[in-house]
Each structure stands twice: as structure tokens, then as C-alpha cells.
Amino acid sequence: MKIIKIILKVLGILVLLYLISAFFAKSSYKVERTGTVHAAQILVFNNLSFLHNWEAWSPWMERDPKTKLSYEGYDGTAGSKMKWVGDKQKTGSGQIEITMANPPSTIDYKLTFNGPPKSNSIGSFRLSELNPDKTQVVWTTSGDIPFVFRPMMMFMDMDKMMGTDFERGLFRLDSVCIKQYKDAVNQTFY
């Protein structure tokens, strides 16, 4: 009986420490990456705002090409959605919804993961023309960390975890847009 009391006290102390650390841990995260895409701004905008185009450049589609996708709404406009169901370890399931599309410079979205754990975040793409065939893309996402997960997040770096995916996505976006841009230029002149 004495051992059970000791075990319960230790567990109680651990739970208390966990809850106290949740008060002091980060309550939100933000990840941001910037890349240069060697194509006209409107072409880059269309590859980002039209969710059907994400299949060609998304780092998550590259990681899990068997992911099942479905679409709702008028693609490229506020309210359009892409839903996915993929491998639980690679992509999970969820949806992305365009909440604002302001050609050719701004796209905002809401991202929902069905979990576990369920989570929501908001994100954006900000595009700036550097010259007629070069566009700067700033990709940002942010979200709140649920109270019970905050202590675990002290040992996880969301910027590092998601940032590499953003970097890969921007690299792939550049490759896709370069090919599309060259194809469009060649069709114009031949």
C-alpha cells in the first residue's frame, strides 16, 4: 500500500509539472520561408491559387503520391477547397481552403488536419514581382498550440519541421513554373 501511495504522489507531481510547464511553453507557432520563382508573377499566382495545380509542386504530394484528393468550389477563388486522405504517417488527412485570392499578389488559406491530433492553421502566399520573369514568394503559416501539447512543443521545432517542407515546395514550384513559362514563351514565338 505504501508503494502505491508513492507511485500516486510521483504521478501527481509529474502531472502537476506537466501542467505548469504548459503555462510557460509557447502557445503558438509561425513558419515562414521566402523563395524566388523564375516566372511571371501571374503564372506563379495561378499555380498557388488553383488547388488542382498543387499536385505538381506540393512537397507532401511528392512524399505521398498515393494521396487521394477531392475538390470543392470554384478553383482559384475564396471558398475553394482541396481535401486529402493519405498515409497516416506521411500526410494524414485534412483540407485546405482558400480564404482570399487577390491576383496577382496575395493568397490566404485555412489548413485543417483531421488528426490525431486535430489542428488548424492559417497561411498565406505573398508575391512580389522582381522583374517580368522573376517573382518573390513569401510562404507563411501560423497556428495555436493546444494547451495539453505545449510542453511537448518545447522539444519540437515547428520552424525546422515545416520549414524544410516549405523550402522543398518553393523549389518544386520554381521548377514547375520555369517549365510552364518556357512552354508558353516557345508557343508564342513558334
Task: Write the pLDDT tens digit of every residue in 24-60.
Answer: 778 788 999 999 999 999 999 999 999 999 999 999 9
Structural domain including 47 reads: 2-63+103-109+121-189
Sign of CA dihedral 113, 117, 118, 120: negative
Q: Mean pLDDT check: name the lowest of 52-61, 108-117, 138-147, 153-162.
A: 153-162
**Residue written as cell 493519405?**
86
Residue 188 scores a pLDDT above 70: no
Domain contains 86: no
Exposure letters 67-94 (e unless 16+ CB within 10 A, then b): beeeeeeebbebebbbbbebeeeebbbb
pLDDT in tens, 58-81: 999 999 999 999 999 999 999 999
Residue 46 within any structural domain of the chain: yes
Look up the CATH number of the domain holding residue 36.
Answer: 3.30.530.20
Closest CA to 135 of 48, 32, 31, 58: 48
- 7 in a domain, yes or no? yes
Q: Does the residue 97 lie in any domain? A: no
**DSSP 8-state secondary structure symbol assigned to residue 146:** P
Does residue 162 lie within any of the structural domains? yes
Number of domains in the chain: 1
Would 156 be classed as within a structural domain? yes
Enter the pTM of the model: 0.86
Among 126, 125, 162, smallest CA distance to 143 is for: 162
Is 89 within a domain? no
* CA–CA distance, 153 with 24 (Å, rounded to integer): 11
Euclidean distance between CA atoms 52 and 69, whole angstroms = 9
Does 91 fall in a domain?
A: no
